């Protein structure tokens, strides 16, 4: 499929072009088209790439999603259009069973990105007095990650809100209540008042008694054969109108199937099964007052198969072969293409809404695509006897969950890592304010800072320089392999970071094009410079993203996290430990697996990142670390960022 530049989602396309370009004495009937005519061709091209990559069509570009596949196809398509060659090898098995490797035959570099949980089989029905009522998956009910796989047919019992203990002696249960051999029907949230708000928290939302973990603990203590959580009628919480998916409800709390049901389906179930003819509203009102254990007629049959499947992600890379004596040395130009999708991890505003990731990092991805075109044209124009290094342009995946794509490449490069002379990384270059662009990393190459000054002087940007590395981004993977780096990022952070508000209409396209033009000149000069930059080690660990508390968690644990292959233990693999960081001071080592946080089991890196974000500098937390098959408990004191 050919992607047209007309595919620009027009209305939002140029809203962030500087206001002076869009200002007219008269209001135009086509202001966006007029604004596009007033900017350079480069800005128009950048606008197209940026707007498409940050569009709803790309679904927030989370690895494993259809949207991310579309984004990778888009980048690969333009690499081909620009004449950039495939960077990565492919492997197949020959007729004799041998492995046949074909170098430079694919634009994709696949790598494992842990696992994902999927429902592969599900059903739910009830039978009352010979009449069967069947419910529809993902419309009437959903399988959650709060429970386990299983198949059960059993009588039903309504258990109210499944709350052990609330204010003023409230409890859904009496001493000795046993749910063995029964499927428990529990309401979501907690008792509500006449306005549909919590009786215990009022306008402040729900208390911690309403959370799923507390309900699962209360139910598990009473041994049900299965659980159906029903969205309650009459609440003001909009979440009561939707089902939660298995991705949204990780962290298994009970070893039986757990499903969630809509209000409408719950009404049908209760009307069919309650011998007194009560409605779901009636049962909710009883539960609002306290214990409401009610045996229902008939039986429910529920089945769920939950499987953990390996998740593969892919880097997208294009190669511009070098020339002459320098051709065997490589410069990497990179930016991460992935983002956080619907915000089920890493969001600063909560899950369930698409996070477009326009600045983070459609802005950088669009830039490296245009750089690939410009550098390829420059190489084609070089004389036959020219010497220039090979240029590898990579759109990395898995950055948001721990620099996974760049780390995989740095550990599995297409040529020896010693032949990589420089890595240039863009991460968030779309929200430049007052022309200010931060450039760091030059201290990792001997003499690089001085060499760069003429380029910085010859740009309309104000380059903010610092000898402190900024940003826990993909360049870190190359620093760890002793490759000099340069990192470009906005100098002034914004509150839209990792929220659904990071949209294309906010992007300063002119500033981003100035940035990519600056770095195109730097790349071409570095590619033809006879000497390579010698790597300079730094004892100062790279900082996390700039911008203070608005940019993410206020604490750092001081590890390079990795993914755990498909197993039942879960947790977070610790690939490296920052010297003198939180983990290092607590005696945690590379190769350990973080499996418990503040007494709670860690399912995966996403859950751990969410827990980390709730802490402040100086907090002390008891963590569980798996080392050589033995879990060790360690108290850590969290450092500020």
List pLDDT tens digits, range 359-386.
999 999 999 999 999 999 999 999 999 9
- Provide the residue ranges of all domains of the chain, joining segments of one domain with +: 10-83+321-549, 116-307, 553-640
Which pLDDT tens digit goes with each residue over 277-298?
999 999 999 999 998 899 999 9
Cα 236 to Cα 397: distance, rounded to the nearest angstrom: 39
Q: Is the pLDDT of residue 111 over 50?
A: yes
172 contacts 160 by C-beta, under 8 angstroms = yes
User: Band of the pLDDT at 212, cuts 50, 70, 90?
Assistant: confident
* CATH architecture of the domain with range 10-83+321-549: 3-Layer(aba) Sandwich (3.40)
DSSP string of 341-375, one letter each residue: TTTSSS-SS-SSS----IIIIIHHHHHHHHHHHHH
* Cα Rg, the chain, nearest whole Å: 28
Residue 143 pairs in a beta bridge with 259
Residue labelled with tokens 């380029």: 455
- Mean local confidence (pLDDT), 210-234: 93
User: Band of the pLDDT at 33, cuts 50, 70, 90?
Assistant: confident
Furthest-apart CA atoms within the chain: distance in Å:
92
Written out in words, the top-level CATH class of the domain with range 553-640 is mainly beta
Average pLDDT, the chain: 88
Question: Degrees (nearest 5) of the Cα angle 197, 198, 202?
Answer: 80
Beta strands in 56-136 (DSSP E): 85-86, 88-93, 99-106, 108-128, 131-134
pLDDT value for 17: 45
Q: Is the pLDDT of residue 237 over 70?
A: yes
Q: Is the pLDDT of residue 24 over 80?
A: no
- Mean local confidence (pLDDT), 325-346: 94
- Mean local confidence (pLDDT), 569-580: 77
Q: What is this structure's pTM?
A: 0.71
Cα 485 to Cα 207: distance, rounded to the nearest angstrom: 48
* Window from 21-30, 233-242, 296-305 with minimum mean pLDDT: 21-30
User: Band of the pLDDT at 120, cuts 50, 70, 90?
Assistant: very high
260 contacts 180 by C-beta, under 8 angstroms = no
pLDDT value for 540: 42
Nearest to 290 by CA among 382, 408, 379, 170: 170
186 contacts 215 by C-beta, under 8 angstroms = yes
User: Band of the pLDDT at 501, cuts 50, 70, 90?
Assistant: very high
Cα 187 to Cα 157: distance, rounded to the nearest angstrom: 12
Q: Is the pLDDT of residue 262 over 80?
A: yes
Q: Which helix (H) or strand (E) holds 311?
A: strand 294-320
- DSSP-derived letter for residue 515 is H
349 contacts 343 by C-beta, under 8 angstroms = yes
- Mean local confidence (pLDDT), 324-330: 98
Tell me how crowded residue 304 is: count the other CB atoms within 10 A of its CB: 26
Cα 505 to Cα 22: distance, rounded to the nearest angstrom: 13
339: tokens are: 């983002």
CATH 3.40.50.1370 fits 116-307, yes or no: no
User: Band of the pLDDT at 251, cuts 50, 70, 90?
Assistant: low
191: tokens are: 């008792």
Which pLDDT tens digit goes with each residue over 590-607?
878 898 898 778 877 766
pLDDT value for 15: 40
265 contacts 222 by C-beta, under 8 angstroms = no
- Mean local confidence (pLDDT), 147-159: 97
* Window from 95-99, 247-251, 524-528 with minimum mean pLDDT: 247-251
396 contacts 110 by C-beta, under 8 angstroms = no
Q: Give the rounded percent of residues in the chain with a pLDDT score beyond 70.
A: 90
Which pLDDT tens digit goes with each residue over 466-489?
887 765 799 999 999 999 999 999
Cα 102 to Cα 627: distance, rounded to the nearest angstrom: 39
Burial class (CB in 10 A: 0-12, 13-18, 19+), 297: middle
Cα 534 to Cα 348: distance, rounded to the nearest angstrom: 39
Which pLDDT tens digit goes with each residue over 546-570?
333 333 456 888 887 765 544 456 7
Between 579 and 169, whose confidence is greater?
169
């Amino acid at each position: 499929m050919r992607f047209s530049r007309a595919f620009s989602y027009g209305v939002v396309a140029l809203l962030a072009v500087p206001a002076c370009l869009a200002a007219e004495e008269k209001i135009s009937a086509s202001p966006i088209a007029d604004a596009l005519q007033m900017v350079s061709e480069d800005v128009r091209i950048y606008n197209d790439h940026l707007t498409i990559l940050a569009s709803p069509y790309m679904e927030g570009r989370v690895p494993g999603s259809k949207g991310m596949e579309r984004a990778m196809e888009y980048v690969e398509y333009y690499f081909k259009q620009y004449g950039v060659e495939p960077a990565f090898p492919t492997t197949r098995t020959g007729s004799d069973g041998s492995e046949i490797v074909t170098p430079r035959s694919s634009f994709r570099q696949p790598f494992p990105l842990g696992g994902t949980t999927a429902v592969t089989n599900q059903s739910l029905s009830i039978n009352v007095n010979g009449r069967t009522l069947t419910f529809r998956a993902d419309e009437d009910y959903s399988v959650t990650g709060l429970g386990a796989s299983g198949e059960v047919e059993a009588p039903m019992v309504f258990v109210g809100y499944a709350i052990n203990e609330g204010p003023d002696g409230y409890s859904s249960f009496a001493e000795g209540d046993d749910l063995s051999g029964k499927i428990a029907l529990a309401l979501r949230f907690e008792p509500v008042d006449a306005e549909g708000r919590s009786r215990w928290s009022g306008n402040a939302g729900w208390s911690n008694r309403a959370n799923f973990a507390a309900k699962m603990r209360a139910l598990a203590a009473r041994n049900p054969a299965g659980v159906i959580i029903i969205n309650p009628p009459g609440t003001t919480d909009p979440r009561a109108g939707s089902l939660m998916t298995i991705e949204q409800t990780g962290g298994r709390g009970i070893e039986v199937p757990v499903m969630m049901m809509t209000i409408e389906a719950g009404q049908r179930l209760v009307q069919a099964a309650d011998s007194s003819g009560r409605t779901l509203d009636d049962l909710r009102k009883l539960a609002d007052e306290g214990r409401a254990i009610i045996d229902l007629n008939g039986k429910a049959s529920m089945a769920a198969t939950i499987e953990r499947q390996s998740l593969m992600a892919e880097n997208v890379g294009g190669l511009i072969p070098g020339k002459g004596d320098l051709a065997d040395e490589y410069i990497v130009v990179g930016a991460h293409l992935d983002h956080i999708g619907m915000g089920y991890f890493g969001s600063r505003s909560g899950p369930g809404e698409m996070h477009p990731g326009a600045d983070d990092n459609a802005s950088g991805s669009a830039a490296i695509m245009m750089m690939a075109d410009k550098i390829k044209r420059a190489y084609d124009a070089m004389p036959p006897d020219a010497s220039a290094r090979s240029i590898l342009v990579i759109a990395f995946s898995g950055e948001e969950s721990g620099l996974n794509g760049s780390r995989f490449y740095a550990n599995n490069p297409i040529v020896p890592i010693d032949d990589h002379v420089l890595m240039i990384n863009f991460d968030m270059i779309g929200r430049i304010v007052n022309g200010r662009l931060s450039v760091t990393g030059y201290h990792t190459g001997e003499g690089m800072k001085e060499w760069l000054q003429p380029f910085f002087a010859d740009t309309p940007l104000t380059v903010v320089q610092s000898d402190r590395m900024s940003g826990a981004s993909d360049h870190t993977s190359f620093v760890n392999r002793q490759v000099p780096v340069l990192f470009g990022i906005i100098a002034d952070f914004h509150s839209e970071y990792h929220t659904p508000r990071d949209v294309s209409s906010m992007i300063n396209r002119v500033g981003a094009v100035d940035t990519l033009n600056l770095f195109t000149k730097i790349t071409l000069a570095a590619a033809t410079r006879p000497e390579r930059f010698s790597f300079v080690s730094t004892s100062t660990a790279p900082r996390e993203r700039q911008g203070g508390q608005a940019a993410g968690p206020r604490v750092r644990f001081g590890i390079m996290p990795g993914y755990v292959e498909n197993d039942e233990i879960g947790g977070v693999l610790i690939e490296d430990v920052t010297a003198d960081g939180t983990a290092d001071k607590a005696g945690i080592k590379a190769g350990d697996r973080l499996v418990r946080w503040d007494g709670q089991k860690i399912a995966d890196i996403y859950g751990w990142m969410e827990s980390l974000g709730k802490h402040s500098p100086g907090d002390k937390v008891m963590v569980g670390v798996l080392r050589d098959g033995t879990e060790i408990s360690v108290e850590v004191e969290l450092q500020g960022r």
